[in-house]
Every structure is written in structure tokens, then in C-alpha cells.
Structure 1
Amino acid sequence: MDATAKRLGTVLLACIVLSACGSGDEAPVLMNVRSTTTGPDEFAILPNKPLEIPQNLSSLPAPTPGAANRTDPSPRADAIAALGGRPDRAAPGGDVPSSDRGLLAYANRYGFGGDIRATLAAEDLEFRQRNNGRLLERWFSANVYFDAYEPQSLDQDAELERLRRGGVRNVSAPPAPTPGG
């Protein structure tokens, strides 16, 4: 064996050994969409509500440091109002108000618990660890998201055709192709 082949084998062995030194505790990243900029995250910014001037300024409450402000965003109450609910009945901290316990019991009637998000997150982490890509894809941070989740994806064209054959109308779908056209 000549010196070049020996050097090449040593470099290859060193690369393999170094790749095995990675931390196994990290969740695999299937979709590499990390920002390379140091600027602010535009999705983390919530606009405040418009300022309101009351009719009587002397009726304003005393400021409370650390407490919520009337112009602070309240996405939970805003979502409830947008869906036609009454935000004043929403429980603080995400608790289920007593008025909604019947609805929650009805939604859980088939045995699905309240920890569905944690369960799905654990199952998805296990799935991503099993489908983390091949060796070179991991080395070069290739995007393996679409390959990993392809068996779970819906073929929208085939599903639209199935629905059309069943007589289901979908007004937002493109029109069915005309024969011969």
C-alpha cells in the first residue's frame, strides 16, 4: 500500500471517528430552516392594542408594576372573541373554565387525554430519530424532511379525484378537466 492510500485511509477513519463523537441527546433536525442573520425575529413581535383615552382620567386605576396592561396583547381572549365566544369567561392561565368542562368531556369521550401534545411530540421525536437521513445527508445537513414524511403526506390530486367521483363538490378546487380539452 503506498503512502497516498494510507493517508487517505487515515483521513477517512478520522472523519468516521469524529462523526461518532456527536451528542446523541439532540433531536434530529429534518428541516434545516435556521436563520443565518442576527436580526430580530419578526414572528416574535406582537403589536399592542390601540391606546384608549377614558372619558374621565381620574377613574384610571393606579399602576401595578408587573401586572398586565390594558393594551397588552391577549391572544387567547382575542381568539375566543374571533370565534364568536365571550373572552370575559376565559379562565386565566389556560385552565378550563367550569362552563367548558362539559365540552371538554364530550371531546374526550373516546379516551383521548389532555396530554395529546406531549404524546405527539414524543412520537414525532422518535420518528425523526428513526428517519434522520443517511450518513452523508447528516454530514452535509441535507434537507430530509420531505423524504421522511412522504409516506404520511396526502396526494391532493388523487384525493380531489376521489371526492369528485363520490359527488362531493369543492368550490375552492380548480375546475375538473374537460374531456378532450
Structure 2
Amino acid sequence: MAVRQVIFAALGVSVLALGACSGDGDPILMHAGAQNRGPDEFAILPTKPLELPDDLAALPAPNPGGANRVDPQPRADVARALGGNPAAAVSPGAMDGGIVNYASRFGRNADIRAQLAAEDLAHRQRNRGRLLERVFAVNVYHSAYEHMWLDKYSELERWRRAGARTPSAPPRELLDN
């Protein structure tokens, strides 16, 4: 009788061990809820072709950390494509200065990233999941934050009832289906 119990226990442990090895996705991608499908082709920016100067002796001095002429410059490229002056393309810092000043008019915390990271870690430690989820390293990120999710359809209806125009949202008929 004891031999059968040992055999069943060994089979149970082997099944559990094989089941734990089934996750072959990238933990970062799985953390975001996505499947591992390879690189995102829209995230790759092509570089401009290299140019050979007319006179190699007249090259400028190296500028470490400075801009390179072949680096992607999306704001200048958009200005050029729309017929504007690429030299007049405003950097994001200068363009967003007004809104940053307005948002920080009551003061700001310079250490906000570290504070939010600490609060997030404390929240995730309080919501670590059940025993078997921890033992088998099941990702419980989404379930830890599920109570904070915004229901997009009820929020859309709330704004529509308030009279706000929602031109980028789907029409009401498509939401009901």
C-alpha cells in the first residue's frame, strides 16, 4: 500500500513540475498582459543614410552627447513634411513649459517617482496573491490593480450624459452590440 502512495506522490510532483515549466513568455511582456510575438515593427525608426562630406579635413570637432545629423528627429521631419521650417521645430521641453508650470503651481514633489515606486511596491506586497499563485510564480499584477480600473464604457456614457462631445469614441449603436 505504501508503494502505491509513493508512486502517486511522485507522479503528482512530476505533473506539477512539468506544469510549472509551461510558461515560455517574456516576463516583461506577460507583465503587461501581452503575448510574446516578437519586436514591434512600429517602434523601429529608420535612420537616415550616412553622408560622406566633401572634405574630410574640414570635419567639425567631436561633440560628445550632442546631436547627430543622422539621428531621427521626428519633430523636424514632420515640419519638413508639412512644408514648414525644420529649424523652427520646438523642443518638447520648451513647448510643454507652460503646462508644466501651470500643473506645478501649488508645488511639486521632486522625488515623486521614488514615492510612487515605493507605494506601488507596498500595494503589490499587500496583494501578492494566494499561496499557490506565489509558489508557482503566477503573475497577479492585474488582479492586484483590478479594483482601480476605469470602466471605459460607463465613463463614456457619463461624459455623454453630461453633454460632452466624444468624437473619437465609437458611436452609441456600436457600444450596445
TM-score, normalised to structure 2, is 0.54
Partner Cα distance (2:66, 2:130) in 1: 49
The runs of at least 4 consecutive aligned structure 1 residues that moved more than 6 Å come to 42-46, 79-84
Q: What secondary structure does 2:51 align onto? A: coil
Partner residue of 1:165? 161
Partner Cα distance (1:43, 1:169) in 2: 30
Aligned Cα root-mean-square deviation (Å): 4.9
Partner Cα distance (1:127, 1:79) in 2: 39
Identify if the C-alpha distance between structure 1 residues 174 and 104 changes in structure 2 by more than 3 Å, giving closer, same or farther.
Answer: closer
Contact 2:49 2:70 in 1 (8 A): no
* Bigger fraction of residues in helix: 2
Partner residue of 1:17? none
Partner Cα distance (2:140, 2:99) in 1: 40
Partner residue of 2:31? 31
- The answer for unaligned runs of 5 or more in structure 2 is 7-27, 80-87
- The answer for unaligned runs of 5 or more in structure 1 is 8-28, 91-96
- Counterpart residue identity of residue 127, structure 2: N
Partner Cα distance (2:43, 2:169) in 1: 33
Identify if the C-alpha distance between structure 1 residues 117 and 47 changes in structure 2 by more than 3 Å, giving closer, same or farther.
Answer: farther
Partner residue of 1:70? 68
Contact 1:49 1:72 in 2 (8 A): yes
Partner Cα distance (2:119, 2:75) in 1: 28
Shift of 1:159: 0.5
Alignment of 1:87-102 (within 5 A): 87=91
Of 158, 175, 178, the match for 2:171: 175
Of 111, 117, 123, the match for 2:113: 117
Q: What secondary structure does 2:157 align onto? A: helix
Contact 1:137 1:143 in 2 (8 A): yes
Shift of 1:54: 3.8
- Counterpart residue identity of residue 31, structure 2: M
Identify if the C-alpha distance between structure 1 residues 106 and 173 changes in structure 2 by more than 3 Å, giving closer, same or farther.
Answer: closer
Contact 2:133 2:139 in 1 (8 A): yes
Identify if the C-alpha distance between structure 1 residues 168 and 153 changes in structure 2 by more than 3 Å, giving closer, same or farther.
Answer: same
Between 1 and 2, higher relative CO (CA 8 Å, sep ≥ 6) is seen in 1
Q: What secondary structure does 1:177 align onto? A: helix
Identify if the C-alpha distance between structure 1 residues 54 and 65 changes in structure 2 by more than 3 Å, giving closer, same or farther.
Answer: closer
- Counterpart residue identity of residue 171, structure 1: P
% identical equivalent positions: 46
Partner Cα distance (2:116, 2:78) in 1: 27
Partner Cα distance (2:46, 2:112) in 1: 31
Partner residue of 2:60? 61
TM-score, normalised to structure 1, is 0.53
Contact 1:48 1:71 in 2 (8 A): no
- Counterpart residue identity of residue 108, structure 1: S
Partner residue of 1:108? 104
